[in-house]
Amino acid sequence: MKVAVIGSGYVGLVAGACFAESGNSVVCVDIDEAKIEGLKQGIIPIYEPGLKEMVLRNSAEGRLTFTTDLESAVKNSLINFIAVGTPPGEDGSADLKYVLGVARSIGRHMQGFKVIVDKSTVPVGTADKVRAAVQEELDARSVSIEFDVVSNPEFLKEGAAIDDFMKPDRVVIGTDNVRTAEIMKELYEPFMRKNNRLIVMDIRSAEMTKYAANAMLATRISFMNQIANLCERMGADVAAVRDGIGSDSRIGYDFLFPGPGYGGSCFPKDVKALIKTAEESDYDFLLLKAVEEVNELQKELLSTKVLKALGDGSKTPLAGRTVACWGLSFKPRTDDMREAPSLTIIENLLTAGAKVRAHDPEALKEARKFFGERIEYSHNQYEILAGADALVIITDWSEYRTPDFDRMLTELKNPVVIDGRNLYKPGRMFDAGFDYIPLGRSSSAISGVVK
């Protein structure tokens, strides 16, 4: 099949590469000339495991091309994916100007039947707006060309996007047109070889499914963070509690790890957008408002623990103190720092007068966009510990799971480890001589934990 993917950001680039991998002829379109030139030269603008190799392979074999020529891409492709950004507006609603701009461009340039697919995360009712925008352009041209609009939300996890696309849990197709449904089934058939996980539904339900999925996952995270905070106050161990409730098949273990809050390009934006969508339908989504509030408070927690451990009570309580931070990206296996908890945590530390050093396996370049030269950066996770008063673990990269504890003790000025991901066994840390401060694990509860 001939496919155009309009928007070569995270979703568009992954989708384009994976469709090409299954044998389709794919052209990825973007208005950013520098990005397109870079892609032509094999320069991948984002970090995602396996993506670079897939892009290079399919580009070399001629199945994947890159262009800024939207007109040519639309004319030569049966299926046109809209994969541009939907940034949040000031009121939290999704800004559809880029989506509708692409829709109008398709309407201006299409010459024959097209399947237009909303791949961007968009509010319920967007397909109707896309359809109207395309039709408006066709009317302006005084032509009658058949087309259909489909909702096909993405469910990719950053850090595992290639596997998620190639071996999906499900593929949701929103359409009321039988012929269009068959075209989409044919496109996705190579990804359904072992088990058919393609779900066809009406367009509005497909649009809602994406928001509902992310809102549910964000709710689990905020819920578990609240449980962790309560455990600290009640003398309980959140790790034991997670085992206790996760073993219930109705609940499961996923997204029940306490931490410094959720971030990234999806959860914060989609929670806000769903709250706004509910308001527009005269519905007060109280639960999601609480989820969002809890998350913002959780991002303050690790810096508060640092202040409690090291602060002197003055206006700049961390003046003269050095804090090392492990992890900057919002999650491991990505360089994405959008809405990352590290942004709040480090800003709070700087405001309190601390000198901050940071390590991350992939996100140091991104971090400079936010912090500039206000903090120190290192590609060596132990180098930033030298003479530091505390280590704060923000992101649970695998590199941090089994570190050289003896070297940590040697390098740190004070053996204070504030673990925002509960990576280590408390008993072992205490016996080794660390002042270990995890989340959701009171001193009375973890004193009896098996070492």
Active site residues: 266
Task: Name, in order, each residue with C-beta under 8 angstroms of 7's C-beta and a sequence gap of 6 or more.
Answer: 29, 30, 81, 82, 83, 84, 85, 98, 102, 119, 120
Q: How many residues does the chain have?
A: 451
d(CA 228, CA 439): 6
d(CA 215, CA 222): 11
How open is the CA angle 182-188-56, to the nearest 5 degrees?
Answer: 140
Distances (CA, A) of 16 to 3, 55, 191, 356: 8, 9, 14, 39
Alpha carbon 210 to chain centroid, angstroms: 13
Distances (CA, A) of 265 to 14, 155, 340: 15, 12, 9
64 close to 28: Cβ distance less than 8 angstroms = yes
Tokens representing residue 59 in the block = 């580009």
For 6, list phi and psi in degrees, rounded to 5.
-100, 110
Tokens representing residue 206 in the block = 């497909």
Distances (CA, A) of 329 to 106, 182, 293, 397: 35, 40, 21, 9
8-state DSSP, 299:
T
Residue 236 in 3-state DSSP?
coil
Residue 148 in 3-state DSSP?
strand
C-beta neighbour count of 207 within 10 angstroms: 25
Distances (CA, A) of 439 to 31, 96, 424: 44, 39, 11
